[in-house]
Structure 1
């Protein structure tokens, strides 16, 4: 493999690697691991990088792996990230390589991401003399809980050598294999989490005047909560506030001492993010005063919005068009889903691509027990990301 014709070299090497990558993906699919438990997956990644002659560090962010490819000339450092963790879902695909672990499944395609980046590693290692700079290959744990990127950053993944730009990707079942989608600017939402405990006083259901009812307080608060979005946030600024869990009480005729609710806040800009948190605190104070309750709020800002940098994105899109053609690269809409790749783009300019993985005749969605992405997306991802790295490190 030579760099005289990089497009042909990338295409031919990817075609050679594709059967091996699909086989490896199926092995990883059989053995899914949850956030910060990706020990076997990390071991596979480390072994593959060693086989390719790529030096790597393990245990970065607990179970992350970082490989480094040095280019032939001085230049910037490009970080390319793939996530590795699975989900607590019982697989129902019936595939011969279905999960062998009860209650665990790669239902978001992170097994595909892992082998795609291993394919990129193999291609770019061979093309290293043509690179002006270096590639930092980041195999990240715990994306599903939005904690893996912060953990790796805390462990110094952005340092030694310092990272100048970053590139991320996700398989995209709403697009066919060979299609690539992008979003300009903010493409995925910030994600915050809140836990609230309402403290009242227990009592008999027949004598509510002798109790202080935390259920009534929680119900009032939940109803008011949505006014933060409908009446306090600019309608042109997306925001979603969701209460996803309520727990409290033991039997029907006892007013409980306390009730707990948990939820998430998704926003696209800092003003909306601040307004929701401050508004929530104000509403809680009102419920406390009005219903004689006491509340405890734990509010955690998990990840910022994922923002694509036009300077990086434009060069990545030029590479994508060279691989799949002009018509197959299309602009899509932002999502209120969240991605901890945003923690990298908050620090350095970056771009995040959606790589079509929809299988013919299927209508798959992510995080579904019957999720079956088309494995043809692996080769498209390898070619596109490898070509993008060359474009960024010319």
Structure 2
């Protein structure tokens, strides 16, 4: 009878129950985060991380599968009544960066670092798992806990989905820590919040020769330089001005010495867009410019253009209940922000089920951190905030 009364009290005051549960698990989650931070693993190498996740889910009595998408883990919490299946996803991989934080739990692996806070994300979802396991009788449906590898290379979500991680998913929640937002705050974007990401490799072949006799050669460096300049007109002169787009050349590889015109140039670029029309326009324009380069500059081109992930779009039917739930739990409404041209392969889940992505402040007063930086230090207080926000969102979505 006391258990039933406690459940009723929790149902009447989920704010208190979730807040107390999050505070209770926070010290253990910080320990786990620091352990993960000291032992970073790159994309599709997250075997140790996955082992820790699986051990925690076993401790909580949560059934789970391992090895999805090579190193992913999928846990499942069954609610007390029938209903939809809600996926909550956290990424686990680190970056190839040499850490310079000086923290006592800094990376012990040379050239590898959790510089994007995926250690924070993994710990947060483990906390959500523990809280929701305790609230399971109140849930109408199931919660799929998706611990995903290889977000940084935009391949882990697709790999897990190929192994069945999205089967039966009706709704999805994603999240990311944001060092530019103070810890304790949250944020969101309505509609498209992160960009589609495409990449291209362009090989331009000319005819090598002595630099003193350029008329005897076909210079691929000059041709490549023309392309680098021309490709900027894709955004400035072909994309509609009110549609955001980015085209960036990230690598220009050619030649070996001062006085030889090389045989070839290798360009590497990325294209970021927020809608399908702009994405199609950019790709078509780049292909046309490459074809024109061959005609105008007497070179031969090989273009490898790959569409990686679509834009991440928040669905109102998930976003609005999530915002209401986070507001009720934390006492302040998430702040509406602008889209980013960065990309996130949670978009693969959002393309298969209505989804929402929550921004969780992880900034510390007096610091000006940014992600993918050797000195990145997200505030660990963001873990408990994320646990509360996501647990309450799941409770409301599966009411």
TM-score by length of 1: 0.98
- Give the whole-Å Cα distance in 1 for the aligned partners of 2:276 and 2:146: 28
1:64 is displaced (CA, Å) by 0.4
Partner Cα separation in structure 1 for residue 199 and residue 296 of structure 2: 25
Match of 1:270 in 2: 276
- Given candidates 1, 14, 21, the residue that maps to 2:29 is 21
For residue 6 of structure 1, report the CA deviation from its aligned partner. 2.1
1:315 aligns with 2:321: yes
| CA distance in 2: counterparts of 1:329 and 1:201, whole angstroms | 58
The structure 2 residue matched to 1:77, chosen from 85, 107, 110, is: 85
Following the alignment from structure 1 to structure 2, what is the Cα–Cα distance between the partners of residues 35 and 24? 19
Asked if residue 349 in structure 1 is aligned to residue 354 in structure 2, the reply is: yes
1:290 is aligned to 2:296: yes
2:240 to 234, 246, 249: 234
1-side partners of 2:249 and 2:142: how far apart?
Answer: 44
Tell me what 2:377 maps to: 372
CA distance in 1, matches of 2:334, 2:66: 35
Q: Look up the SS of the partner of 2:161 in the other structure.
A: helix
What is the alpha-carbon distance in structure 2 between the residues aligned to residue 288 and residue 45 of structure 1?
52
Instruction: Output the CA distance in 1 between the equivalents of 2:108 and 2:216.
Output: 54
SS in 1 for 2:108: coil
Gaps of 5+ in 2: 1-5
**Counterpart position of 1:137:** 145
Q: 1:241-280 residue pairs with structure 2 within 5 A?
A: 241-280=247-286
| Number of residue-to-residue matches in the alignment | 391
| TM-score, reference length from structure 2 | 0.97
Question: Distance in 2 between the 1:259 and 1:176 partners?
Answer: 45
Measured in 2, the distance between the counterparts of 1:51 and 1:330 equals 36
1:339 is aligned to 2:335? no
How far residue 142 of structure 1 moved from its aligned partner, in angstroms, is 0.5
What does 1:39-188 correspond to in 2, within 5 Å? Answer: 39-159=47-167, 162-188=168-194
Question: Structure 2: how far apart are the matches of 1:103 and 1:376?
Answer: 26
Number of the residue aligned with 1:222: 228
Alignment gaps of 5+ in structure 1: none
Residue 3 (structure 2) aligns with: none
**Helix, strand or coil: the match of 1:74?**
strand
Secondary structure of the 2:112 match is coil
What displacement does 1:225 show?
A: 0.3
Measured in 1, the distance between the counterparts of 2:329 and 2:81 equals 25
Q: CA deviation at 1:158?
A: 1.0
Separation in structure 1 between the aligned mates of residue 366 and residue 239 of structure 2, nearest angstrom: 41
Separation in 1, partners of 2:288, 2:319: 40
**Partner deviation per Cα, 1:3-43 (whole Å, 9 max, x = no partner):** 43322211111111011100110000000000000000000
Cα RMSD for the two superposed structures: 0.8
